[in-house]
Chains A and B, each alone.
Chain A
Amino acid sequence: DTEVTQTPKHLVMGMTNKKSLKCEQHMGHRAMYWYKQKAKKPPELMFVYSYEKLSINESVPSRFSPECPNSSLLNLHLHALQPEDSALYLCASSHREGDEKLFFGSGTQLSVL
């Protein structure tokens, strides 16, 4: 199994809603990542988890809250988002933090109204 699975594929939420994005991998990877990608732009790193501990937070606003319940799962909790947060949110994994090859999921297309 070489897949990173993200749910939901699409999400529409209001600015007062609370929602969560989920990501799962069963490749035994110990590093997991959240990226944000706006249309026609490259992916931007948000968070890195290494061995289930937060390793990197790229100065992301607190309305985005990551969680890594175990080595296979990664969540991104969303609260009080702004319309400019609308984007494709990508999860990725690698064997270890700093390993060169990232496996990306298909992403969650988020629209904030």
Chain B
Amino acid sequence: EDQVTQSPEALRLQEGESSSLNCSYTVSGLRGLFWYRQDPGKGPEFLFTLYSAGEEKEKERLKATLTKKESFLHITAPKPEDSATYLCAVQAGGGTSYGKLTFGQGTILTVHP
């Protein structure tokens, strides 16, 4: 069974204090790993897709990296507007779960001014 575990559950940072969010996964043949951002009462917003170990993607203050067992979302010099829940999801490439997204529980990020 595909599994995604995110840590920490919640993270409080001061503005400008860089940190990383972790996403550990177990999946039968990874097709892709996805990062989404979700604001309260809104739908998830797509951030990145990573396909293979060693791949990196960047967008503004965010950088996502991927290994064979986990992904990190690095946040450099965060601002209060980066406060949100960050969801990690994996897409399996084989078996009965082909194409289905499995989400982690999310990390609630709060950035204080």
Contact = CB atoms under 8 A, between A and B. Distances in A.
A41 to B, nearest CB: 7
A90 interface: yes
A100 B32 contact: yes
Contacts of A4: 43
A91 B113 CA distance: 34
Contacts, number: 49
A41 B103 CA distance: 9
B87 interface: yes
Q: Is the interface of B mostly helix, strand, loop or mixed?
A: strand
Contact of B41 (A97, A102, A107): A107
Nearest to B103: A42
A104 B43 contact: yes
Contacts of A72: none
Interface of A: 4, 40-43, 45, 56, 88, 90, 92, 97-98, 100-107, 109
> Nearest 9 pairs between A and B by C-beta?
A98-B99, A104-B43, A42-B103, A100-B32, A104-B44, A90-B43, A100-B49, A107-B43, A106-B42
